[in-house]
Amino acid sequence: MMRGVRTSQKERPSSMPSFHRGRFVVGAAVVTSTLALAGCGAGGVMHKGSTALQYDGRTVTSQQLQTATDEINKATGYGIDPANVAQVLSIGPEIIKAGKKHGVVYSDSYLRNKYKKSPLSDVAVEALRVNDISQTLSNAGNLTKADTKKIAAQNATLNPRYGSWVKGTGPTSAPEPWISATPTAAGPAPNGHPAE
């Protein structure tokens, strides 16, 4: 049973992160997250292509992310892609804290039983936990602006192939192409696209 006072619609974010209908959904108020895309310096995520995501002291490899995505799709039938999973994981720490505050906690064994159509890796379980907690909090009206400010204070780094975060907007799709052209003498290519 969840505790907490239902907030007014005015105080609540318009939507929460989820895998609902195969799309990751976040309202502008939800993700004002600060994400540093470390694609410029040596040793950044762009230079370590096997790294998909770094958040809360954790690193998820591209292989772990792909495996989790495949497992989630088999277990749920969602049809999501790795970018959806990376974006859900990146907001997880504060979503889980907000869930605990409202008595919404899902154990690994509960989630593995709920989604038993496919064996689940630890990364898949964590993504499903974040998804289910965020949906429960949102549906009950228990995710407030204060919670979203905590989410915005998180730090995470996504490999650009999995998208990016725009402060005040939320996750965005990976730009096409996500690998930038070789810079010319005229300077770096804006937004990863060749200068005209």
Which of 2-6, 46-50, 61-65, 117-121 is least confident? 2-6
pLDDT band at 63 (very low <50, low <70, confident <90, very high): very high
64 vs 113: CA distance, rounded Å: 21
pLDDT at 99 over 50: yes
pLDDT at 60 over 60: yes
80 vs 74: CA distance, rounded Å: 10
Mean pLDDT for 109-113 is 97
Domain boundaries, the chain: 43-166
189 vs 66: CA distance, rounded Å: 29
pLDDT at 151 over 60: yes
Give rounded-to-5 percent helix, strand, coil for the chain. 40, 10, 45
- Of the spans 33-42, 50-59, 143-152, 163-172, which averages the highest pLDDT? 50-59
Tokens (6 digits) for 112: 């593995």
pLDDT at 192 over 50: no
End-to-end CA distance of the chain: 58
pLDDT at 185: 55
Other CB atoms within a 10 A radius of the CB of residue 92 amount to: 23
Of the chain, the percentage scoring pLDDT greater than 70 comes to 60
Which of 1-15, 45-59, 104-118 is least confident? 1-15
Residue 55 contacts residue 45 (beta carbons within 8 Å): no
In eight-state DSSP terms, residue 92 is: H
Residues forming beta bridges with residue 51, ordered by sequence position:
61
CA-nearest of 145, 151, 190, 188 to 171 is 151
CA-nearest of 54, 32, 53, 4 to 151 is 32
Encoded amino acid at 25, one letter: V
Mean pLDDT for 122-126 is 98
The H or E element spanning position 86 is helix 82-90
45 vs 192: CA distance, rounded Å: 15
Of the chain, the percentage scoring pLDDT greater than 90 comes to 41
